[in-house]
Copies of this chain bind each other. A is one copy, B any other.
Amino acid sequence: MDKRRLEAFSDGVFAIVITLLVLELRLPAVTYDALGRSLLQLLPAISAYALSFLLIGMYWVYHHHAYTFIDGVDGVLLWLNIVFLLLISFMPFPTMLLGRYPGQTLPVVFYGCNLLLANLHGLAMLLYLKHAPQLASRRLTPVLFRRQVTVYIVVNSLYLANIGLAFLLPRVAMTIFAAMAVYLMVRSAMVMGIGTCVPSEPLVHAGESSVAPPRSGPHVLVSE
A interface with B by C-beta (< 8 Å): 1-2, 5, 8-9, 11-23, 25, 27, 32, 35-36, 39, 49-50, 53-54, 57, 60-61, 64, 71-76, 78-79, 82-83, 85-86, 89-90, 92-93, 96-97, 100-101, 104, 106, 110, 131-132, 134-135, 185, 188-200, 215
Cβ-defined partner of A16 (8 Å) among B12, B190, B215: B12
Say whether, besides A61-B78, A75-B191, A16 and B16 are in contact (CB < 8 Å): yes
Tell whether A189 pairs with B23 under 8 Å between CB atoms, given A86-B53, A197-B134: no
When C-beta atoms are compared, the residue in chain B nearest to A72 turns out to be B197
A93 touches B22 (CB 8 A): yes
> A135 to B100, alpha carbons, bound, how many Å?
42
Do residues B197 and A25 form an inter-chain contact, with CB atoms below 8 A?
A: no
Determine if B35 and A101 form an interchain contact, defined as CB atoms under 8 angstroms apart: yes
CB of A145 to closest CB in B, whole Å: 17
Contact A71 B197 (CB under 8 A): yes
Nearest B residue to A78 via CB reads B192
Alpha-carbon separation in the docked complex, A194 to B75 (Å): 5
Partner of A25, one of B53, B60, B93, B185: B93
B-side contacts of A60, CB under 8 Å? 9
Of B17, B76, B185, B194, the residue contacting A189 (CB under 8 A) is B76
- A–B Cβ pairs within 8 angstroms, 24 of them: A5-B11, A5-B64, A8-B11, A9-B14, A9-B15, A9-B60, A12-B12, A16-B16, A16-B19, A18-B85, A23-B92, A25-B93, A36-B106, A53-B82, A57-B85, A73-B197, A74-B193, A74-B197, A74-B198, A75-B189, A75-B193, A76-B195, A132-B194, A134-B197
Please name all residues of chain B whose beta carbon is closer than 8 Å to the beta carbon of A100 when the two chains form the complex.
Answer: 27
The answer on a CB contact under 8 Å between B1 and A200 is: yes
Q: Are B22 and A89 in contact (CB under 8 A)?
A: yes
B194 touches A74 (CB 8 A): yes
Q: Which residue of B lies closest to A60 (CB)?
A: B9
When distances are taken between beta carbons in the complex, the residues of chain B under 8 Å from A76 are 189, 194-195
Q: From residue A79, how far is it (CB to closest CB) to chain B in Å? A: 5
Query: Which listed residue (B14, B19, B35) contacts A106, Cβ 8 A?
Result: B35
